[in-house]
């Protein structure tokens, strides 16, 4: 047991060192690496619902978008009148000082973690009673509705979009902005991973699994399933909100349906990545998101105009050949490496029977 732990320790410290060194090693790829961290966070949090709890949510994009708007609004609103900032064609220019910028984004991120979690609690209370595809369709509607509503609210820029505060001009180093957002997202990734790993070792995960496997039985055993479902969703919303807040600052421009409540892209990607890697596993979403991001960045520009066709093919291939994801596939091939005990004789007997 100790030996395994030691190996884990080496693996984790190796990954953390790689993560910390990455923006210096691959200076030109900082933005892509930041995206990667955010994608992994989204896939891991989706996995809590879709993988562990068996509730296929398309609604996590709601918390991501909320986080984005909240961070930007707080960052501006703390120091300047928000309405004048977002007014299109406004004649005034407001400039954040360095201190204001960082204070603003700090408080903004705090708000964008808490508010989505609270909202997840409220919405969850209302709709987590739905099961199966009813829940999926309902959450799909949430994301779309949020996009349309945000597109009509003048104070956050409505259809014009919301330009987030530019990085303070007093910092001359052009690399500073990239590094700042990378480390922010990397910290979020590490935090999310530690949290999810903690959940994986806890009773909470077993309860989520029980809900997935048979909710009625779980309830019959005396588990208050509703409570756990809501808490699980609130946890996801907390991290999705933070991810959105960071992305808003990084992209610099928030559009209601294309950037914030981007269910068509981010909303689908987070599901796809978790399934690609293997839902219901700790490492699955991490590997899935990494592979997906490399596929996307590497190949998409080579097949300009056909990338969505390629994505469609990828989805078909995943669903047909890796229905349990890469981790599930590996587990089936090398079960002993996942700590599963195999009776060799029994296996051989099965092979012969075939």
Partner 1 sequence: MNKIAKLFVTFISAITLALVSFTSSFAKVEGEYIVLGSAISLTGKYSSNGVHTQNGYNMAVDRINKMGGVEVQGKKYKFEIIYYDDESNPKRAAQLAERLIKQDGVHYMLGPYSSGLTKAIAPVTEKYKIPMVEANGASRSLFTKGYKYLFAVLSPANQYLEVAIDLAVEKNGGKGVKIAQAFEQDAFSQDVRLGILDAAKRTGSEIIIDDKLPKELNDMAATLAKVKAVKPDVLVVSGHTKGALTAIRQISEMKVDVPMLAMTHCDAAKLSKQHGKKSEFALCASQWHKNLSYKDKFFGSGKKYAKDFQKEFGYDPPYQSAESSAALLVFKDAFERANSFDRDAVRDALVDTEMQTFYGNIKFGPGGQNVAKPMILFQVRCKGDDCENRVVAPTKWASDKFYHPIPKWSERS
Per rule CB under 8 A, is residue 158 in the interface with partner 1? yes
- The distance of closest approach from Cβ of residue 158 to partner 1 in the complex, given in angstroms and rounded to an integer, is 7
Residues in 170-209 that interact with partner 1 by CB under 8 A: 174, 177
Residues in 77-116 that interact with partner 1 by CB under 8 A: 88-91, 93
Cα separation, 205 vs 183, whole angstroms? 29
Q: For residues 232 and 280, which CB has a smaller minimum distance to partner 1 in the complex?
A: 280
Among 300, 310, 314, 329, binds partner 1 (CB under 8 A): 300
Stretch that binds partner 1, among 44-52, 148-156, 180-188, 346-354 (CB under 8 A): 148-156
Per rule CB under 8 A, is residue 348 in the interface with partner 1? no
- The distance of closest approach from Cβ of residue 74 to partner 1 in the complex, given in angstroms and rounded to an integer, is 19
Residues in 238-257 that interact with partner 1 by CB under 8 A: 247, 251-253, 255-257
Stretch that binds partner 1, among 14-22, 69-77, 271-279, 343-351 (CB under 8 A): 14-22
Q: Give the tokens for residue 159.
A: 């259809």
Cα separation, 234 vs 119, whole angstroms? 8
Q: For residues 198 and 294, which CB has a smaller minimum distance to partner 1 in the complex?
A: 294
- The distance of closest approach from Cβ of residue 164 to partner 1 in the complex, given in angstroms and rounded to an integer, is 8
Kind and range of the H or E run holding 162: strand 162-163
Residues paired with residue 254 on neighbouring β-strands, in sequence order: 162
The helix/strand/coil state of 253 is strand
Cα separation, 266 vs 285, whole angstroms? 14
The half-sphere exposure of 172 on its side-chain side, counting CA atoms within 13 A, is: 0
Q: For residues 106 and 166, which CB has a smaller minimum distance to partner 1 in the complex?
A: 166
* Listed residue (274, 265, 256) closest to 307, CA to CA: 265
DSSP state of 92: -
Residue matched to tokens 């993560």: 19
User: Helices 284-299 and 268-277: crossing angle, nearest 10°?
Assistant: 120
Cα angle 246, 114, 103 (rounded to 5 degrees) comes to: 50
Per rule CB under 8 A, is residue 4 in the interface with partner 1? yes
The neighbour count for residue 70, using CB atoms within 10 Å, is: 25
Per rule CB under 8 A, is residue 120 in the interface with partner 1? no
Per rule CB under 8 A, is residue 307 in the interface with partner 1? yes
Q: Is the CB of residue 327 less than 8 Å from the CB of residue 283?
A: yes
Per rule CB under 8 A, is residue 167 in the interface with partner 1? yes
Sites of contact with partner 1 (CB under 8 A):
4, 7-8, 11, 14-15, 18, 25-32, 35, 88-91, 93, 148, 151-152, 158-161, 163, 166-167, 174, 177, 247, 251-253, 255-259, 262, 265, 283, 287, 290, 294, 300-301, 304-305, 307-308, 330, 334, 337-339
């Amino acid at each position: 047991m100790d030996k395994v732990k030691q190996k884990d320790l080496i693996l984790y410290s190796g990954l953390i060192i790689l993560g910390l060194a990455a923006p210096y090693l691959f200076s030109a790829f900082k933005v892509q690496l930041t995206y990667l961290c955010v994608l992994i966070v989204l896939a891991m949090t989706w996995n809590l619902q879709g993988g562990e709890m068996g509730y296929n949510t398309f609604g996590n994009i709601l918390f991501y978008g909320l986080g984005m708007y909240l961070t930007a609004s707080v960052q501006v609103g703390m120091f300047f009148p928000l309405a004048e900032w977002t007014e299109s064609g406004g004649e005034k220019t407001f400039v954040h000082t360095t201190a204001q910028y960082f204070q603003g984004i700090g408080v903004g991120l705090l708000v964008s973690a808490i508010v989505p979690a609270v909202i997840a609690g409220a919405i969850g209370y209302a709709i987590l009673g739905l099961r199966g595809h009813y829940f999926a369709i309902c959450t799909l509607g949430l994301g779309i509705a949020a996009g349309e509503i945000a597109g009509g609210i003048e104070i956050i820029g409505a259809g014009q979009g919301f330009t987030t505060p530019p990085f303070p001009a007093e910092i001359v180093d052009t690399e500073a902005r990239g590094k700042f957002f990378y480390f922010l997202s990397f910290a979020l990734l590490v935090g999310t991973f530690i949290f999810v790993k903690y959940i994986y070792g806890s009773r909470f995960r077993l309860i989520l699994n029980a809900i997935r496997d048979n909710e009625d039985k779980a309830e019959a055993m005396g588990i208050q399933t509703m409570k756990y479902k809501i808490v699980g969703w609130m946890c996801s919303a907390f991290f999705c909100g933070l991810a959105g807040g960071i992305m808003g600052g990084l992209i610099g421009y928030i559009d209601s349906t294309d950037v914030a409540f981007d269910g068509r892209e981010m909303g689908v990607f987070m599901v796809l990545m978790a399934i690609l890697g293997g839902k219901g596993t700790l490492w699955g979403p991490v590997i899935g998101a990494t592979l997906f991001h490399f596929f996307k960045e590497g190949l998409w520009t080579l097949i300009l105009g056909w990338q969505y066709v390629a994505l469609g093919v990828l989805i078909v291939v995943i669903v047909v050949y890796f229905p349990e994801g890469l981790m599930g596939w590996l587990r089936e091939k090398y079960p002993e490496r996942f700590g599963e005990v195999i009776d060799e004789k029994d296996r051989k007997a099965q092979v012969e029977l075939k």
